[in-house]
């Protein structure tokens, strides 16, 4: 099976407040090794050979600051900044509207996943090129996961899910542009990821192996882990 042969673009939703990370600047502007999370994420996408354009959805009140920040840091692709929306889905939708006509593959990547290895970006892009309409990186789940429900004021277990059939899904998620645009156009309520919209629209989604280093910075402990991973990379001589 062969897929689209045009240009790939990155879309980076970066308009969240980062409430679970705690007080401070919007999460995407918080620094890791002295460099904003957003800059790490954009650089990781831009480092992929397939990616020539990255569209960033910034907090609406910070568009000028984000533009200046990206101008100050070297990035190996053209970068466009748009105002994000009230939900992640709305932020992605606004970024999609800024893609140029030549783009036929879209990689959607959270600014909150700054340390994604370029190998993972390449793997996702390659799977779309080889014909998969939608691709997500996934990792086996380490914890046992139970479904719960409230019963008489306490939380009760309803069932234990079969862990071997579960995957924790990351970004970048890769799509044929037409598939992602149609899924966003058809969306009625909010999804936490873009592949979820494709699923609801009846499309098939392929899983490729994820990477532990593509973890999402959500809570303060994640930032500590990210600092440690970055320090190890720098000690090993990788530039970042
Ligand atoms: N995001 C976005 N626009 C929104 C909400 C989220 O672009 N209105 C982006 C975030 O900036 C982040 C990604 O979606 O890069 C994943 O969201 P999440 O990790 O939940 O980040 P936040 O929403 O910022 O964090 P929190 O939910 O803790 O407030
Ligand atoms: Mg959020």
Tens-digit pLDDT profile for residues 114-152: 999 999 999 999 999 999 999 999 999 999 999 999 999
Residue 75 lies in a domain: yes
Residue 161 lies in a domain: no
CA of 109 from ligand 1 middle (Å) equals 11
Q: Show the CA angle centred on residue 199, arms to residues 120 and 210, nearest 5°.
A: 20
Tens-digit pLDDT profile for residues 72-106: 999 999 999 999 999 999 999 999 999 999 999 99
Which residues are within 8 A (CB) of 166 and not within 5 positions of it... i.e. 6 or more apart?
140, 141, 145
We report the CATH number of the domain holding residue 224 as 3.90.550.10
Predicted confidence at residue 160, as pLDDT, reads 98
Residue 151 lies in a domain: no
Predicted confidence at residue 1, as pLDDT, reads 63
pTM of the model: 0.97
Ligand 1 contact via 218 beta carbon (within 6 Å): yes
Which residues are within 8 A (CB) of 10 and not within 5 positions of it... i.e. 6 or more apart?
42, 45, 46, 51, 53, 54, 55, 77, 106, 107, 108, 109, 172
CB 13 within 8 Å of CB 88: yes
Residue 131 lies in a domain: yes
pLDDT band at 216 (very low <50, low <70, confident <90, very high): very high
Give the domain extent around 132: 7-138+166-236
Structural domain tally of the chain?
1
Mean pLDDT of the region 30-55: 97
Ligand 1 contact via 28 beta carbon (within 6 Å): yes
Residue 229 lies in a domain: yes
CA of 27 from ligand 1 middle (Å) equals 8
pLDDT > 90: percent of the chain: 92
Residue 178 lies in a domain: yes
Q: Which atom of ligand 1 is nearest to the CA of 20?
A: 28
Ligand 1 contact via 110 beta carbon (within 6 Å): yes
Residue 87 lies in a domain: yes
Residue 157 lies in a domain: no
Q: Which atom of ligand 1 is nearest to the CA of 13?
A: 7
């Amino acid at each position: 099976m062969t897929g689209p042969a045009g240009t790939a673009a990155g879309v980076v939703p970066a308009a969240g407040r980062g409430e679970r990370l705690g007080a401070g600047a919007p999460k995407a502007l918080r620094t890791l090794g002295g460099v904003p999370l957003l800059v790490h994420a954009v650089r990781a996408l831009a480092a992929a050979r397939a990616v020539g354009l990255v569209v960033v959805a910034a907090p609406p009140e910070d568009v000028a600051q984000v533009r200046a920040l990206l101008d100050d840091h070297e990035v190996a692709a053209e970068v466009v900044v748009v105002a994000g929306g009230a939900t992640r889905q709305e932020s992605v939708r606004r970024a999609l509207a800024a893609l140029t006509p030549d783009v036929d593959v879209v990689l959607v990547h959270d600014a909150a996943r700054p340390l994604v290895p370029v190998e993972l970006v390449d793997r996702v892009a390659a799977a779309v090129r080889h014909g998969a309409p939608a691709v997500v990186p996934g990792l086996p789940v380490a914890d046992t996961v139970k479904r719960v429900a409230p019963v008489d004021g306490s939380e009760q277990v309803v069932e234990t899910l079969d862990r071997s059939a579960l995957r924790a899904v990351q970004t970048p998620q890769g799509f044929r542009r037409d598939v992602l645009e149609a899924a966003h156009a058809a969306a009625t309520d909010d999804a936490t990821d873009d592949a979820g919209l494709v699923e609801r629209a009846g499309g098939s989604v392929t899983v490729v192996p994820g990477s532990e280093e593509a973890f999402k910075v959500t809570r303060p402990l994640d930032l500590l882990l990210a600092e440690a991973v970055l320090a190890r990379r720098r000690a090993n001589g990788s530039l970042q």
